[in-house]
Structure 1
Amino acid sequence: MKKEFLYNEIAGNIANKIKTGVLKAGERLPSVRKLSKEHGISINTAKRVFLELEAQSLVQSKPQSGYFTSPLNYLKLPLPEISQPVPVANIREPDELMNGVYSTMGRRDLTLFSIGVPSGNLLPLAKLKKEIVLATRELKEGGTEYEPLQGNVKLRRMVAVRSLAWEGNLKDDDVVTTNGCMNALALCLMALTKRGDTIALESPCYPGILQLAVSLGLKVLEVATHPVTGIDIDALTKMLPKIDVCLLVPNFNTPLGYCMPDESKKEIVALLSKYNIPLIEDDTYGDIHFGNERPKCCKSFDRDGNVLWCGSVSKTLAPGYRVGWVAPGKYKEQILKLKLIHSLSSTSVINEAVGNFIMTGRYENHLRHLRRTLQENYQKCADAIAEYFPEGTKISRPQGGLALWVEFPKDIDTGELYNYALKKQISISPGRIFTLQNQFHNCMRLCIGLPWTDDLKLKLKRLGSLAKMIRN
């Protein structure tokens, strides 16, 4: 095993024991020399393991004494409740609140906890600029021509190659490029549904997906979800006679951040296939895992082409590039027909640049740094919440992604909190925008993709004070 992977594995195993409480706060860890001997690694590699754990705020060193586990106060906070949406289609969009939240995009005067993308400070901007220049030089006519309808060959090949990591085993001919993941989801829904059809979605659900479904005239059935394991399969099963299509975000769903167990993914794929109900899988966050391995997708278990797997680099590399894709299985011809009508071609230069960035290995190197930073951000945000937010606050424990879900006591309305926070130059995403039903009024989503600073901690402290003020 390569030293890089061995070091990551050892650090990951110790980190998992700390987070799950196997190793208690203040417990002494093996010495550098003992760790080296136990695992057959060099002293320098053993030191690197502890430096990694220290960077994640999981351990702390004491001079002349060694390393000890850090107190993780956020682990004392309970998990949010299992969602309980009513089992009927509902179309009550919180338009005013949603429009207010998304109108803040791009504002430099606000701390944008509300927008679920990584900060530009966490992205390899200089390297991306070089790839754009290179793509312009290498493409025929400088990239001004239309590319093939199915999309850039290099990008599709790289998406297919990366699918081997989660046992997707795709070929480049299985992939169609799109203008971001939302465009992929839109093409899928337009191909599979007509006005009046019913779609099953997780509850809570990303607001953009809710808006898309409503704009296409679909009836929305929200399915109960557990904050750790995801969708309630029994609840989904009861809905099967009513639904025409299902759209899920199994890996690090926003806003809860859960990762559905492989058994659940496999069961859902088989269940929907049995009833010939297409499954659209949004895997936008799959590459931002906090564990050692990238999780499998529902597509990993698809044997008859019933899963339309969608992804993008919008949450990992370049939100503004709008580079996405779909592996539509047996629905490929319908997707290509719609792409021809609605967009014809993706942006040649951008897709070539991203394809090359992935091919050279720079993407995976970037992801390693991004994953570690986001995990550290989550832990620091969660600790600040444990310290400053009102008693009775509950938070999710995301296993990856960009979101942290906060559930306040019932007497705190996050729509009201949003208005007060905005006056303090802080923007949040109130829970009500993640549903079409009358729920989640006491919840909010916070983006963990902002660089951690003392000022960011101060903003969280201010949010906690505002929440307490509203409660009083």
Structure 2
Amino acid sequence: MRVSTPRYQQIARQLGDKLRGGTLAEGDKLPSVRTLSQELGVSINTVQQAYYCLEAEGLIEARPQSGYYVRTLIERLGNVPRRSAPQATASQPLQANQESMLLRLMHQQRQPGWLPFSLSVPAPSLLPVSKLMKALQQAQRELPHGGIEYELMTGNAALRRQIARYALFWGSQLTDEEIITTEGCTAALTLCLKAITQPGDTVAVESPIYFGILQTILSLGLKVLELPTDALTGVDLDILESHLRAGQVQACLLVPNFSNPLGCCMPNAHKQRLVQLMETYQVPLIEDDLYGDLHFGPDRPLPCKAFDRQGLVLWCGSVSKTLAPGYRVGWVAPGRYFDALLQVKRYQAGFSPGITQQAVATFLANDRYELHLRRLRQRLKSNCQRYQQTIRAHFPPGTRISEPQGGFTLWVETDARVDTLVLADQLAPHKISIMPGSLFSLQPQYANCMRLSYGLPFDERVAWGLQMIGQLIHQQVRI
């Protein structure tokens, strides 16, 4: 049975509806925490948590010694990174300096004593490690012969049932027979690309986009078409449609919910239109829904799969960002491409490990996962706010910061004179790692941008690290 919605989330939803509906105007002051707690008959802490929710959504702001106010849309739009404008041509492979930087960062972020702002996973302290260990032990007891035998090619049956059950929460009609498990989300994306494309095909993606997706597409002999993307609402559908109409795109690979690195969430109306475009032009959409469960608002955003009526959406997910990165447990619901994808898995990927999948299924089988997600979302939301506040206080004026409504990555656009590849090298002696913006594109852009993960709990050392980044940026600007 699903866990009931906490009271603070109910209050946040009610207030949010009023804010969006115009009951409270931009700039209006909200009731004090004490006043609202008395009016609603709830604790001060409950109201405070509700206000934190609304603040994370960018709907209100806290003013020192004054209280909470409705945040103006103009102010919010003025502070987010600018809409991207990549060239409308298929891109070239990663440059040598990009590959070299990626290798260095991958080495740095795993070294003891480093502040890995570059590492896009939640800190182990935010994950239920001891409970997962017990789930592993239980899985070993439940599986035949302790889990040493091969699983079904479609994957662990218990896990597929649990994925289908959780999909019911967003109105899905998926059954366990429509799901194939994989070794993480990247493996799911790779299988999808292999099943629906041929070398030389063009795949449309957001820009900026996670460099791992770029590398995966290129490794399969495919071309990348980067699309203009808004930092709040996602990819430009008009531009995408023009490419579809011209027959220039054979597949789309998009992250509609809390994309990495922008953190933007495509509105439902946009998702519905996106699926309609896929149906009109009969082009498959690979949907990376890796971050959908990490929403800051009261409800999980719908995936594009919720609007799919022709089986053209290949819905991919994983627990790598929510529960157990090292378990490498993912899945895909490939719609009409089920047989093609299963064949690719049979010939090129093989069987998935059963014991970790069984452990995750055990964890999902009761309320433990939802309780864990609730705590994780709250921590990430608080981290996001405190990271943003520290960046605003210590980075140069004019710095633009994304307004993610979920996930755990911030996209920071600095002064045009800043080179974040150089900045990453300058931070290395201080044992601080960032992800330079130029790694998120195959085109020469985003040199003055960076991705920062707020998966690290905010503390004095994190604050020092962000201040050090700001200090070095100031030095680049002065030079």
TM-score (structure 1 length as normaliser): 0.92
Equivalent residue, structure 1, for 2:250: 244
1:213 aligned onto 2:217: yes
The answer (yes or no) to whether the contact 2:30–2:69 under 8 Å persists in 1 is: no
What are the Cα deviations for residues 178-234 of structure 1, in whole angstroms up to 9, with x where unaligned? 000000000000111111111111100010000001111111110000000000001
Q: CA deviation at 1:59?
A: 6.1
Q: For the Cα contact (< 8 Å) 2:203–2:249, is it kept in 1?
A: yes
Change in 2 beyond 3 A, CA 1:3/1:196: closer
CA distances 1:386-417 after superposition (whole Å, capped 9, x unpaired): 10001211011001111100000110011111
Q: Secondary structure at the match of 2:346?
A: helix
Taking the TM superposition and a 5 Å limit, the aligned residue runs for 1:34-433 are: 35-37=37-39, 39=40, 43=41, 45-53=42-50, 68-69=67-68, 78-93=79-94, 94-240=98-244, 241-433=247-439
Shift of 1:55: 6.8
The offset of 1:154, in angstroms, is 1.0
Post-superposition shift, 1:470?
A: 1.3
* Residues 4 and 211 (structure 1), Cα distance of their counterparts in 2 relative to 1, 3 Å cut: closer
Consecutive unaligned residues of structure 1, counting only runs of 5 or more, are none
Sort the Cα spacing of 1:273 and 1:127 in 2 relative to 1 into closer, same or farther, 3 A.
same
Kept in 2: contact 1:152–1:177 (CA 8 A): yes
Which one-letter code corresponds to 1:348 in the other structure?
G
Contact 1:23 1:69 in 2 (8 A): no
Deviations 1:325-367 (A, max 9, x none): 0000010011111111223211111000101101111111000
Contact residue 248 and residue 279 of structure 1 kept, 8 A:
yes
For the residues of structure 2 that align with 1:54 and 1:8, how far apart are their CA atoms?
A: 10
Amino acid at match of 1:329: G
Aligned residues: 463
Q: Distance in 2 between matches of 1:187 and 1:289?
A: 27
What SS does structure 1 have at the residue aligned with 2:265?
A: coil
Aligned to 1:29: 31
- 1:77 Cα deviation (Å)? 6.4
**Once the 2 structures are TM-superposed, how far is the Cα of residue 54 of structure 1 from its aligned partner?**
7.2
Question: Post-superposition shift, 1:5?
Answer: 3.5
Cα separation, 2, equivalents of 1:120 and 1:2 = 24
The percentage of counterpart residues that share the same residue type is: 41
Deviation at 1:69, TM superposition (A): 2.5
Give 1:97 shift.
2.0
Q: Deviations over 1:265-305 (max 9, x none)?
A: 11111111211111000000000001000011110010010
Aligned-partner Cα distance in 2 for 1:24–1:278: 41
One-letter amino acid of the structure 2 residue matched with residue 69 of structure 1: Y
Q: 1:4 to 1:200 in 2, by over 3 A?
A: closer
Question: 1:470 maps to which residue?
Answer: 476
Aligned position for 2:467: 461
CA deviation after TM superposition for structure 1 residue 9, in Å? 1.4
CA contact (8 A) 2:88 2:225 kept: yes
Please name the residue that 1:11 is paired with: 12
Change (3 A) 1:28 1:61: farther
**Secondary structure class of the residue paired with 2:370:** helix
C-alpha RMSD over aligned residues = 2.7
Distance 2:273 2:5 in 1: 35
Deviation at 1:46, TM superposition (A): 3.6
Of 77-86 and 18-27, deviating more is 18-27
| Structure-2 separation of matches of 1:87 and 1:336 | 34
Letter of the 1:248 counterpart: L
Q: Look up the SS of the partner of 2:321 in the other structure.
A: coil
- Per the normalisation by structure 2, the TM-score is 0.91
CA distance in 2, matches of 1:170, 1:368: 24
Q: Distance in 1 between matches of 2:238 and 2:70?
A: 37
Q: 1:387 to 1:16 in 2, by over 3 A?
A: farther
Q: 1:125 to 1:15 in 2, by over 3 A?
A: farther
Counterpart residue type for residue 49 of structure 2: E
Which amino acid in 2 is paired with 1:398?
Answer: P
> What is the CA-CA distance between 1:168 and the residue it aligns to?
2.2
Distance across 2 between alignment mates of 1:216 and 1:3: 45
